[in-house]
Structure 1
Amino acid sequence: MEIMEHIIQENEKDERIDKVLSAINEEWSRSQVQQWIKEGNVTINEKQIKSNYKCNIGDRILIKIPEPENLDVIPEQMDLDIYYEDSDVLVVNKPKGMVVHPAPGHLTGTLVNGLMAHCKDLSGINGILRPGIVHRIDKDTSGLLMVAKNDMAHEKLVNQLVEKSVTRKYFAIVHGIIPHDFGTVDAPIGRDPEDRQRMTVVDNGKHAVTHFRVLERFHQYSYIECELETGRTHQIRVHMKYIGYPLVGDPKYGPKKTLNINGQALHAGVLGFVHPRTDEYMEFEAPLPEYFSKLLHDIQK
């Protein structure tokens, strides 16, 4: 059983404990957290509490995460936005709000559930809960993902990620006006020692490089394109916060006062890779989702 610790911060004061915990890990649903609390797997300051407990600054929360059951993924019919598919590779445009693969608290409604209903032939390298998944994007990030339909394709696509030859361009809206047109953030990323559910720039972190360019500036915001050289957890969100321009709507790394768009304004708009069988370079582009375009329009006004 995994045990995680979380110390309540100022911005979490007076919030319900079930709301706080479901916010620190996007793969935990509120109902799952409430069940853990009911079963006595969550303590605050070494005492058991109820789901409606209001948090105080400095409260020490211990969460005992039960071992996941050995579950089969349930195929679910979904209207997937598939950009390309052949016998080796599939490229899909994931909507904002969808979790990529099943996990405790999110066993259904994920992209993998939809993929399992769409096609039976997915690579098995990542196991039962993550078939075919070569890389992932956050729940509230929309955009393009490549999926491997067999182990040969999976290995070759992963190798391209390791070699940094995959093209991955993201579009984001950030707080603040970035004065220079281009920039590169080269700063290692690891777990935040003060909050294990967050990532941050740390000396002993993993090498991480993000290139960005400003597409448009507004009164209080900048619209940017980011290109990943590496693919660390929450990389763009962490790097932009690090240089003082956090993403709009980001509940984990953004300011407390931000636009209420239910998650960060981040879209994986361009994905390019060499086909694992034909060795042909392929590139795909997904337009901004409707909420993102509307947000840009509102900010421009």
Structure 2
Amino acid sequence: MVSGISLAEARGRDQNQIEEMIKESFLIAQENAGTRLDEFLERKYLNISRTRLRRFIEGPCVLVNSAISRPGYKLAVGDVVEVEIAELPVTAMIPEPIELNIIFEDEHLIVIDKPAGMLVHPNVAVKSGTLLNALCYHFSKTTGGTNRIRPGLVHRLDKNTSGIMVIGKTERAVGALSKQFRLQRVSKVYTALVHGCINEDEGVIEAPIGFDLNTWPRWQVMETGRPARTRYSVQDRFDRFTLLALAPETGRTNQIRIHCAHLGHPLFGDAVYGKAENERFFSSPQGQLLKLDRHFLHASQLSFRHPVTREDITFNVPLPAELSRLLESIGSITAKK
């Protein structure tokens, strides 16, 4: 039983009772400049209360310029507001018995290693199989179905990016963690394999990232974009590839993927920002031997301050098996630099 409802009963419910997702982006024009974020959204979504909208704003369901904001934030011309919220609360989601790789858990938060291929939360097209579905089931199971813990997302990973995520289990934890992300007090390190050989052992990519409704991809480097900075260091070199550790100092949407492509070294397997480079490689004899159903980007380290104990903690996770195997294959068919 899951909170008094069996999984079979939950699966059989009318799909209209499962949350309908809203996914929109707004480019702020002069007429909305100076408006509070919560007031702006309240005008857009008349059927959602301001209290619920504020709760969405404090999590990663509403982002301003790719970052978690606050309800009272005054919008400026050129701001990009991204909305991905449910019209019904998260507790309406169906818990699903999906295995989780739990790195750490206490009564305040949980740290997991998300696999590639898993969405963080449902969207318009996908209503099940997400991290939130798995967390709802896990929390219900660990509390014996007597206490429904609302998973508090404070950041995201792309569907095809694997690695560490922290999720709050209480309102206090979610608020404190959200603030750390908003103020850029969280340290993140990603491992990525990129095309080409980078000669410098370390460096910094500084290129503003903006949003354009009329182009694809919509997020890209542009002069009118927001400042974005990523540090990198070379971990290994191969004949046609470089293995990097990347630490984003800002939190723009798709920042690492965009910055690597801007540097001229797109991610291995990135079908959006490295489409041409990857298509050329995968059509070559070597490429035929090195297929990957995702891009090579893994969130390998996450450091933050515990929201209750105030202890500074760091979590590390190794590369998943498919990425380790790919590196071994590359090493066997290409020469190291």
Q: TM tier, shorter chain?
A: 0.7 to 0.9
In structure 2, the residue matched to 1:169 is: 189
Structure 2 residue 295 is the aligned partner of structure 1 residue 264 = yes
Bigger helix fraction: 2
Compared with structure 1, are the counterparts of its residues 299 and 192 closer, same or farther at alpha carbon in structure 2 (3 Å cutoff)? farther
RMSD of equivalent CA atoms: 2.1
Q: Structure 1 CA distance, aligned partners of 2:23 and 2:95?
A: 28
Q: Structure 2 CA distance, aligned partners of 1:3 and 1:209?
A: 26
In structure 1, the residue matched to 2:215 is: 195
In structure 2, the residue matched to 1:281 is: 312
In structure 1, the residue matched to 2:327 is: 296
Cα offset, 1:151, TM superposition: 1.5
Cα distance per residue 1:148-187 (max 9 Å; x no partner): 1112111111111122221211000000000101011121
Compared with structure 1, are the counterparts of its residues 134 and 197 closer, same or farther at alpha carbon in structure 2 (3 Å cutoff)? same
Cα offset, 1:204, TM superposition: 2.1
Compared with structure 1, are the counterparts of its residues 205 and 250 closer, same or farther at alpha carbon in structure 2 (3 Å cutoff)? same
Q: Structure 1 CA distance, aligned partners of 2:161 and 2:152?
A: 19
Structure 1: which 5+ runs fail to align? 5-66, 124-130
Q: Structure 1 CA distance, aligned partners of 2:324 and 2:155?
A: 25
Q: Structure 2 CA distance, aligned partners of 1:277 and 1:139?
A: 30
- Partner secondary structure for residue 79 of structure 1: coil
Letter in 2 for 1:292: L
Q: Structure 2 CA distance, aligned partners of 1:145 and 1:90?
A: 8
Structure 2: which 5+ runs fail to align? 1-21, 26-84, 141-147, 283-290, 333-337
Cα offset, 1:70, TM superposition: 3.9
| Residue pairs, 1:61-76, within 5 angstroms | 70=88, 72-76=92-96
Compared with structure 1, are the counterparts of its residues 197 and 243 closer, same or farther at alpha carbon in structure 2 (3 Å cutoff)? closer
TM-score by length of 1: 0.72
TM-score by length of 2: 0.65
Compared with structure 1, are the counterparts of its residues 108 and 183 closer, same or farther at alpha carbon in structure 2 (3 Å cutoff)? same
Cα distance per residue 1:55-75 (max 9 Å; x no partner): xxxxxxxxxxxx976472111
Task: Say whether the 8 Å CA contact 1:213–1:226 is kept in structure 2.
Answer: yes
Task: Say whether the 8 Å CA contact 2:189–2:246 is kept in structure 1.
Answer: yes
- Of the three residues 129, 134, 155, the one matched with 1:114 is 134
Q: Structure 2 CA distance, aligned partners of 1:202 and 1:287?
A: 34
Percentage identity across paired residues of the two chains: 39
In structure 2, the residue matched to 1:212 is: 232
Cα distance per residue 1:39-97 (max 9 Å; x no partner): xxxxxxxxxxxxxxxxxxxxxxxxxxxx9764721110111000011111110000010
Cα offset, 1:3, TM superposition: 8.6
Letter in 2 for 1:94: K
Structure 2 residue 115 is the aligned partner of structure 1 residue 84 = no
- Partner secondary structure for residue 224 of structure 1: strand
Cα offset, 1:215, TM superposition: 0.6
Task: Say whether the 8 Å CA contact 2:97–2:137 is kept in structure 1.
Answer: yes
In structure 2, the residue matched to 1:186 is: 206
Structure 2 residue 211 is the aligned partner of structure 1 residue 160 = no
Letter in 2 for 1:226: L
Compared with structure 1, are the counterparts of its residues 108 and 94 closer, same or farther at alpha carbon in structure 2 (3 Å cutoff)? same
Letter in 1 for 2:230: T
Compared with structure 1, are the counterparts of its residues 92 and 68 closer, same or farther at alpha carbon in structure 2 (3 Å cutoff)? closer
Cα distance per residue 1:223-247 (max 9 Å; x no partner): 0000121121111000000010100
Q: Structure 1 CA distance, aligned partners of 2:23 and 2:232?
A: 37
In structure 2, the residue matched to 1:134 is: 154
Task: Say whether the 8 Å CA contact 1:164–1:229 is kept in structure 2.
Answer: yes
In structure 1, the residue matched to 2:253 is: 233
Cα offset, 1:133, TM superposition: 0.8
- Partner secondary structure for residue 298 of structure 1: helix
Q: Structure 2 CA distance, aligned partners of 1:192 and 1:298?
A: 38
- Of structures 1 and 2, the larger Rg is shown by 2
Task: Say whether the 8 Å CA contact 2:187–2:302 is kept in structure 1.
Answer: yes
Letter in 1 for 2:157: I
